[in-house]
Structure 1
Amino acid sequence: MGRTTSHRWAMLRNLVTSLLEHEKVKTTDAKAKELRPLAEKMIGLGKRGDLHARRQVLTVVRKAEVVRKLFDTISPRYQSRNGGYTRIVKLGFRSGDGAPVSIVELVTEGKEAKGLKKRRMGKRRRKEKGPAEATKPEAPASRP
């Protein structure tokens, strides 16, 4: 990403802290791809919930209130999920320099489940209507 190691590490730590604090962050595609594995690891450590995991998170996330939020509210959301805690949504290109921009956000269970339920109901309705329409006799074609 064109930065020194210390600058890159500081930037990624700030991005992870912002992501966990706001649950969504807008950044370039390259930064988003670098951010994702680190954020996934922090949430995985939050799921463990022991003192050693908390200390490991504190080496990356420097705000104590964000660490508290991670362990108390964010991690319990994903107890039944094995990975895939974040999503990258591509937005297009930035107007100033043309850099590809994305949003990195934490996946929420409620939105996905709601969307899947609607899709399933739609498929069922189509299946039920399909055979009923097929059994209707067609009207004979009339010639003008």
Structure 2
Amino acid sequence: MRHGKRFNHLGRTSPHRKSMLANMASSLIVHKRLTTTVAKAKALRQYVEPIITRSKVDDTHSRRVVFSYLKDKDSSRVLFDEVAERIADRPGGYTRIIKLGNRLGDNAEMCMIELVDFNEIYQQEEKQAKGKTRRSRRGSKKKSSAPQAEDTSTQTASTSKAVAEPEEPQTQEENAVAESETQEEVVELSGEVVVEETTESEANEIVEAIKEEEKKADSDDNPQAKDTSSENDDEKETKG
């Protein structure tokens, strides 16, 4: 009687069902994927995953237990040599069922069952997904504040250079005229900016003083001009 036997018998006797699952498990381990019905694939997954877990411990006892279920030397060797290395870090869930639609003959629901670690397409997608980094709002604020600080530092450096190294005009007169036009001089003292204003009268006085200095310099450079000016003065006095 069938009391308490709630698994799928697959329409077979117990020895027939066990031998069929052993053959399917051996084919799955050797070929890494298998096409069958959904009912058989679900039964195979419950049968083969404990066997794959047993292969993580490579010793004589584990090999004998695996061989008692698979009943095939080649598949057990492939399981311990190839599959065990790939699934060493995976804590279960070694197989994947992908549904393929219904079969034409009896309209049975078909699927493909495969080992997860031997599908190269899914592995590439997982690597690309892991490569993406998540950015939090806090990190973005910190990153955005850094370039602002750099900009302010560059601005202060440029202003300090402009104040420390002013451009000299070609002549002193042009310097005075420029000062009178701007009427503001920026001086940086201890990190504070002080604005000094110059009036038009002060600018005119500076221009007159510069002109007088230039006249004196010209007179010192040309003594002949002094002599001619003194002779002209003597002639005027004699005539008078």
Question: Does TM-score exceed 0.5, indicating one fold?
Answer: yes
Shorter-normalised TM-score: what interval?
0.7 to 0.9
Q: Which runs of 5+ in 2 are unaligned?
A: 1-9, 135-240
Quote the offset at 1:61 in angstroms: 1.2
Of 1, 17, 35, the residue aligned with 1:8 is: 17
Deviates more, 1:100-109 or 1:15-24: 100-109
Q: 1:68 maps to what in 2?
A: 77
Superposed CA deviations along residues 37-59 of structure 1, whole A, max 9, x for unmatched, are 22111111111111111001101
Q: Which has the higher contact order (CA 8 A, sep 6+)?
A: 1
CA separation in 2, counterparts of 1:107 and 1:27? 17
Distance across 2 between alignment mates of 1:74 and 1:120: 23
- 2:5 aligned residue: none
Q: Percent identity?
A: 41
Distance 1:80 1:4, change over 3 A: same
CA 52–102 in structure 1, closer or farther in 2 if over 3 Å, else same: same
Partners of 1:121 and 1:45 in 2: CA distance: 32
* 1:27-84 deviations in Å (ceiling 9; x for gaps): 1000000000221111111111111110011011122111111001101111111001
Q: Which has the larger radius of gyration?
A: 2
Where is the helix percentage greater, Structure 1 or Structure 2?
2
Are the structure 2 counterparts of residues 115 and 93 from structure 1 closer, same or farther at C-alpha, using a change threshold of 3 Å?
A: same
Partner of 1:118: 128
Q: Indicate whether 1:52 and 2:31 are aligned.
A: no
How many residue pairs align between the two structures? 124
Segments of structure 1 that go 5 or more residues without pairing to the other structure are 125-144
| Residue aligned with 1:30, SS | helix
Q: Provide TM-score, normalisation by structure 2.
A: 0.48
